[in-house]
Structure 1
Amino acid sequence: MKATSHITNDCSEPLTQGFAAVTRRGFCKEAAALGVVAMAGAGLSGCAPKDANEAAFAAGTYSASVSGHNAPFTVNVAFTPDAIEQIDVSDNQESLGVGARALDDLSDEILQYQTVNVDGVTGATLSSAALIQGVTECAEQAEAYRLMAADAVPAADVEDTYKTDVCVVGGGGAGLASAIAAVQAGANVVVLEKCGITGGSTNVSEGALNAVDPERQEKQGIEDSIETFYTTTMEGGHQKGTPELVHYLTDHALDSVHWLESLGVEFQDECGSATGSLGERSHYTVTPSGNSYIRVFEQFIQDNADKIVILNDMQAKELITKDGKVTGVKALYNGEKDVTVDAKAVIIATGGFGGNVEYRQKVNTGVWKEVTLDDSIGCTNILPCAQGEGLALAEGAGAELIGLSDIQLHPCGTPGTGLMEDIRTSGRNRLFINTEGKRFVNEGAERDVLCKNIFQQPDATYWVVVNKLRYPDPDEPDANGATINNMLALGHIVAADSVEDLANQMGVDAKNLQASIDAYNEVVGGKEDEFGFVADNTADAAMTEGPWYACRKVPTVHHTMGGIRVNVESEACDADGNPIPGLYAAGEVTGGIHGSNRLGGNAIADCMTFGRNAGTNAAKYAEGK
């Protein structure tokens, strides 16, 4: 078996040159729709002089300012008379494992092949386009026209057929956990990932993992139990979860924490409470975000390259079945080459379907049936992911799909994309203000309550308003790595020294906005709130001084709780509960675990717990046990 990727353990370090040759990536179609197709290509080669292939470059280091996904950054490119020598994008603030990984990957390709004609990384479209644009502008400054006229990076050497014990469809958190568990159980594994990066939406999650952990919790004076965790999860899901699956999750979540620690994940010493977790049992990694898990997984993959193969840009198209058993996967590489993976067992871990507008509207018959979940409502997931293809694969093999109408919305969506960016709605010292300048809801309410109230507002939108209490320094990164000045540079927020000026920039009534702030401050001072908000004396304070900041928000699709029916062995099952031989599933693609509402911190617990379960059991099946 031929390994096709070599991944470093640190997203800040470039990948080996060999990676570029074997993970050719197609530029995501939405790039054109977003108007961010890079400047590199035949269109610019027309400015090259006739002797461009022989002309020397104007040696030196050149710079270009570009707008990334999270913040503007500078691309610095060093040229010798003959070649591009170095690309420096060290001041970028792109997301670890996503945009930051794309910058590293593409920089390596440009340096290796000496061309700006590279494809962007699917799943990191905006970051890719920004880098290509920046390098192209620097090449123009250096009169390095040969780089713009050079051939595109060659396609990867991908085999027609792979044979393995276990094939995992999906390289996100659940998929990689499944793959690693299968390897640990003795199997050889091939992972098919349709994007140009691994980690999926786990990369951009905040990484909270719920588990009852006496060692940590008792030192904090937290009273908790597995039974309480189970009851809370069932109640939070409105009693629609499958009891045996919820029991498995709550009984084995701490085992997942210990398993992750054995691989190298470092957790903080104290537990916290993720938004909507309904308990103080959330584990957070020492380094921020869900990418902490993915970096550790990638190190394991590198260390076990003889047993695990990651194939990027692979769109699974169909499960192969024989005599009622699933025996492999048919896939399409880079949109053009047919690839077959013959496997003794297959694990589907393709995530949810929140990014598939047509499908989510079709199944939206539950709590949000009065809301049209069309493309005016975005999705917090990485959009090339979260399309629901895994559901069709499983259904085609006879598996039942359950709970599809259970769709979770979050109030922190960015208009136009639905991504959770910029000023967040969680935390303290913030106001929800409608387009009339008025408060309209208890800002500390549950997610579904918040979203239902937002939909009742004019244009189903609102502003989250904060002041210097949340951002005392406009250049200090917040918990998500963004600064006020980054947000302003991208035009994502408005800022003002006075409430009146802020209201003008928001387009709301200044008197209403000031009255809303005054009323909130009275609640902080002890007055009962008309919306039911209860101030925390240790965290909330009166909002009186500027600078003031406001960011427009909309509800966004956050998690799809329905999916493939599975049992406690993570086997995909038909409508009668019978397992489909050779087919397993894990993560958001499955149904029955979260009921009709997922608790904050339970998604990562689900991915890791059922991912380990699926990988171990698939390996046993492949071995004939």
Structure 2
Amino acid sequence: MAQVIVVGGGLAGLSAAHTLLERGANVLLLDKQPFMGGNSTKATSGINGAGTQSQQDLGIPDNAKTFFEDTKKSARELARDDLIRVLTGRSGDAVNWLQDKFQLDLSKVARLGGHSQPRTHRGDAQFPGMVMTYAQMERLEDLAESTPDRVQIKKKARVTQLIKDQAGAVIGAEYVHNGKTETAYGPVILATGGYAADFTADSLLKKYRPEYWNLPTTNGEHCTGDGQKMALAIGASAIDLEKVQVHPTGLVDPKEPEAKVKFLAAEALRGVGGLLLDNTGARFVDELQHRDYVTGKMWENGKFPIRLVLNGDASKQIEWHCKHYVGRGLMKRFESGEALAKEMGLKPEVLKKTFDDYNKVLRAKKDPFGKKFFSDEEWKFDDYFNVAIMTPVLHYTMGGLEIDAESRVVDTTGKPIPGLFAAGEVAGGVHGANRLGGSSLLGCVVFGRVSGDSAASYLLQRIGPLAEKAAGRLGAVAGHLGAEASSSSKSAPAPAPAKEEKKAEATPAASGEKSFSVEEVQKHNKKDDCWVIIDGKVLDVTAFMPDHPGGEKAILLYAGRDATEEFNMLHDPKVIPRYAPEAVIGSLKK
């Protein structure tokens, strides 16, 4: 059976690939990054779902109709009912699919801004975007090794153009890999992400929102609108390209306040009760309002720096995030309200009054800023606080390629372009004028699955009289792969096969060839000479840094130091033997 080409290795592309395999199609996945994952790995709040098993277990009375209404309200005048109906109507199934197929823990459910019910799912320990993406990524990589006739993955493969036949159907893609231009044939699913880091010469961002050009961004440098530009070049229609979401809570690094790329403060930090305070120590907005509204109020208020403040109760609810941000120097812990007031340059009684006034709001459930949902615990001045400085940041592009409810890319006349599909942030119109928190991962999974279904059906139709026979044969193979997948353990991500464990045993550290003292490691603390310690192993990560999905800064923070605690908060233990076995140069002297 012919293949489907998936361009992009984030959650949308991975969800499309797994759905294609379930439908019996073969997959060629092309990703221009050295590691798959894209921005999906950075998503921190969770994935939305209405009517999920987790919600039922918690007694949350949510349903697709309520979620549809919340999303349509957020999308405002640009609401596309057909796409919103797909997004919300298939949301519960998407969450259940992740839990059942990939054995993920998504049992915690929170309410984010703009939602009338708690519906944003996550689990313990790790950022949900990373967990979801790595589970799918590792499963697909294992299948590429065990069934290379079904799955091929090519990284550092930059797709440059789409190929059409004389009838106007997309029949393949041209890409550059290892310095060579190659051509692959088959229908194409674009899952290349957005353009909120598009600072290139033909930037969509500069063309459609030039006033945002100088803002910092949360996006990786790969988000340059590649998929949009390639499809537009062959006659595709675009929609809402001017709709660029500015997120209110980008984390300001005190050491690099002007850094162009910033980490995002998870919306869940406000969801558990965090307050936004201006430089006078006062609240100025409903912290759980839509992102564009909160951003607008920050600019309107203008009293920077603006701080996100979590009290002890909120900090406990989202302890992992706080530890992560504190570890990176992006958040600071204060042991009392008095210490926080001193940091802010305020008299203690000023900050205490803010807390006392908010406690009155909590008790009355009536907020002058319109807040409707509150945490149960009152704020005490004699408490500990986790605090970070916030700034608006480029975050998400609602605009993109115009698609229909089957994820088919349409042309300028409104007709589907045969053989071309889109999923995730590359597709526009799904979220209208403003995206709700928790719906980015959802859009990736839902439309990844929809595009996989549509592309598989299209492929079978194109095969002709052999389609039924091929579908039966490959359906049996897909069933075998599904059974193999469901037999994996309930860890997240799924465990690597035995061959990966052998890789780990073959590293110098495991065989005891070399050992280094802490003092020796400390000498290697620069960008061009960087060692770190992880779980008693010494790694030379100098060559690996440019390829690190989290960026060089995430590693340099621990240059010459023990990074075990931070590493284990974010990664499964098998990440090193799977992706960077050559970095292990020895073990730590005892």
Aligned twin of 1:291: 130
- Secondary structure of the equivalent of 2:159? strand
Q: CA deviation at 1:267?
A: 4.2
Comparing 505-514 with 580-589, which one deviates more in the overlay?
Answer: 505-514
| 1:594-605 matches, cutoff 5 A | 594-605=431-442
Counterpart selection for 1:404 from 223, 234, 241: 241
Q: For the structure 1 residues 286 and 620, does the alpha-carbon distance in structure 2 shift closer, same or farther, using more than 3 Å as the test?
A: farther
Q: Counterpart of 1:374 in structure 2: which amino acid?
A: W
1:525 Cα deviation after fit: 4.7
Instruction: Note the alpha carbon deviations across 1:127-166, whole angstroms, 9 max, x for none.
Output: xxxxxxxxxxxxxxxxxxxxxxxxxxxxxxxxxxxx9621
Pair 1:344-2:344 in alignment:
no
Q: Tell me what 1:165 maps to.
A: 3
Following TM superposition, by how much is the alpha carbon of 1:174 offset from its aligned partner in structure 2, in angstroms?
0.5
Amino acid of the structure 1 residue aligned with 2:28 = V
In 2: Cα distance, 1:182 partner to 1:226 partner? 25
The aligned counterpart of 2:153 is: 310
Higher mean C-alpha displacement, 225-234 vs 504-513: 504-513
Q: Distance in 2 between matches of 1:426 and 1:355?
A: 25
Letter in 2 for 1:558: H
Question: Aligned partners of 1:436, 1:386: CA distance in 2, in Å?
Answer: 37
Q: Structure 1 564/225 Cα, relative in aligned 2: closer, same or farther at 3 Å? A: same
Structure 1 position 433 matched with structure 2 position 281: no
1:196 aligns with 2:37: no
Structural mapping, 1:90-489, within 5 Å: 165-206=3-44, 208-213=46-51, 215-269=53-107, 271-285=109-123, 288=126, 289-297=128-136, 298-304=138-144, 305-306=147-148, 307-323=150-166, 324-333=168-177, 337-357=179-199, 358-364=203-209, 372-379=211-218, 381=219, 383-415=220-252, 416=259, 417-421=261-265, 425-458=269-302, 461-471=305-315, 478-480=319-321, 482-483=322-323, 487=325
The answer to whether the 8 A contact 1:285-1:292 is kept is no
Residue aligning to 1:142? none
Paired amino acid for 1:478: E
Quickly say closer, same or farther: Cα 1:178–1:253, change in 2 above 3 A: same
* Distance across 1 between alignment mates of 2:372 and 2:429: 34
Matched with 1:622 is: 459
Structure 1 residue runs of 5 or longer lacking an equivalent are 1-162, 366-371
Separation of aligned partners in 1, 2:232 and 2:34: 26
One-letter code aligned to 2:64? I
Q: Deviations over 1:101-149 (max 9, x none)?
A: xxxxxxxxxxxxxxxxxxxxxxxxxxxxxxxxxxxxxxxxxxxxxxxxx
Check conservation: 2:365, 2:372, Cα contact below 8 A. no
Query: How far apart in 1 are the matches of 2:328 and 2:58?
Result: 41
What stretches of structure 1 move > 6 A for 4+ residues in a row? none
Q: What's the offset of the Cα at 1:275?
A: 4.2
Residues 445 and 606 of structure 1: is their aligned pair in 2 closer, same or farther, counting only changes over 3 Å? closer
Select the structure that is richer in helix: 2
Farther-moved stretch of structure 1 (489-498 vs 447-456): 489-498
**Residues 1:549 and 1:180: Cα distance change in structure 2 (over 3 Å):** closer
CA deviation digits over 1:365-407, x for unaligned, max 9? 9xxxxxx31333322x3x1232211110110121111011222
Partner letter of residue 152 of structure 2?
Answer: V
Tell me: CA distance 1:509–1:554, structure 2 relative to 1, closer, same or farther (3 Å): farther
- Which amino acid in structure 2 is aligned with residue 201 of structure 1? N
Q: Is the 8 A contact 1:423 1:551 kept in 2?
A: no
Give the Cα separation in 2 of the matches to 1:231 and 1:527.
24
Aligned mates of 2:109, 2:385 — CA distance in 1: 32
Structure 2's unaligned 5+ residue stretches are 253-258, 464-590
**1:331, distance to aligned residue in structure 2 (A):** 2.0
SS state of the match for residue 614, structure 1? helix
Summarize deviations over 1:381-435 as a string: whole Å, max 9, x none.
3x12322111101101211110112222222202333321499741344332222
1:470 to 1:273, Cα distance in 2 relative to 1, 3 A: closer
SS at match of 1:456: helix
Distance 1:232 1:533 in 2: 16
8 Å contact kept, 2:278–2:303: no
Kept in 2: contact 1:412–1:425 (CA 8 A): no
Task: State whether structure 2 residue 423 is matched by structure 1 residue 586.
Answer: yes
- The one-letter amino acid paired with 2:122 is Y
* Whole-angstrom CA distance in 1 between matches of 2:377 and 2:156: 47
Describe the superposition over 1:283-341 as per-residue Cα deviations: whole angstroms up to 9, x where unpaired. Answer: 4356641223223322144135421111111222111223122222222236xx13323
Mapped contact 2:310–2:385 kept (Cα < 8 A)? yes
The answer on whether the counterparts of 2:49 and 2:121 sit within 8 Å (CA) in structure 1 is yes
Provide the C-alpha distance between the structure 2 equivalents of 1:428 and 1:321, rounded to a whole number of angstroms. 50
Summarize deviations over 1:222-247 as a string: whole Å, max 9, x none. 33433333233222211422222222
CA separation of 1:278 and 1:200: change in aligned 2, threshold 3 A: farther
SS of 1:197's equivalent in the other structure is coil
TM-score by length of 2: 0.68
Maintained 8 Å contact 2:287/2:371: yes
Maintained 8 Å contact 1:502/1:549: no
Paired position in structure 2 for 1:9 = none
2:403 corresponds in structure 1 to 566
How far apart in 1 are the matches of 2:57 and 2:158? Answer: 47
Q: How far apart in 2 are the matches of 1:454 and 1:346?
A: 41
Match of 1:621, as an amino acid? Answer: Y
SS, match of residue 577 in structure 1: coil
8 Å contact from structure 2 (residues 44, 266) kept in 1: no
Counterpart amino acid of 1:264?
F
TM-score (norm 1): 0.65
Deviation by residue 1:8-40 (Cα, 9 ceiling, x = unmatched):
xxxxxxxxxxxxxxxxxxxxxxxxxxxxxxxxx
User: 1 CA distance for matches of 2:244 and 2:103?
Assistant: 30
TM-aligned CA deviation for residue 611 of structure 1: 0.9
The percentage of counterpart residues that share the same residue type is 29
Give the distance between the partners of 2:176 and 2:129, measured in 1 at CA: 28
Amino acid at match of 2:278: N
Letter in 2 for 1:339: T
CA distance in 2, matches of 1:392, 1:241: 24
Spell out, residue by residue over 1:330-374, the C-alpha distance to the aligned partner (whole angstroms, 9 max, x if none). 22236xx13323212111101111222553242239xxxxxx313
- Of 213-222 and 597-606, deviating more is 213-222
User: Aligned equivalents of 2:120 and 2:357: distance in 1?
Assistant: 33
Alpha-carbon distance, 1:586 to partner: 0.8
**Cα gap change, 1:188 to 1:441, in 2 (>3 Å):** same
* Amino acid in structure 2 at the alignment position of 1:598: R
The count of residues paired between Structure 1 and Structure 2 equals 446
1:32-47 equivalences under 5 Å are none
The 8 Å contact of residues 328 and 340 in structure 1, kept in 2 or not, is answered as no
The structure whose RCO (Cα within 8 Å, separation 6+) is larger is: 2
Q: Which amino acid aligns with 2:302?
A: P
CA RMSD of superposed structures (Å): 3.1
SS of alignment partner, residue 212 of structure 2: coil
Report the secondary structure of 2:377's partner residue: coil
Q: Is the 8 Å Cα contact of residues 169 and 418 (structure 2) preserved in structure 1?
A: yes
Q: Is the 8 A contact 1:207 1:604 kept in 2?
A: no
Q: Distance in 1 between matches of 2:274 and 2:183?
A: 51
In 2: Cα distance, 1:397 partner to 1:348 partner: 14
Do the aligned partners of residues 463 and 320 (structure 1) sit closer, same or farther apart at CA in structure 2, a change above 3 Å counting?
A: same
Q: Distance in 1 between matches of 2:117 and 2:287?
A: 19
Alignment partners' CA distance in 1, 2:365 and 2:237: 52
Cα shift at 1:554:
0.7
- 1:166-208, Cα deviation, whole Å (9 max, x unpaired): 1111000000111122222222221111112112222221363
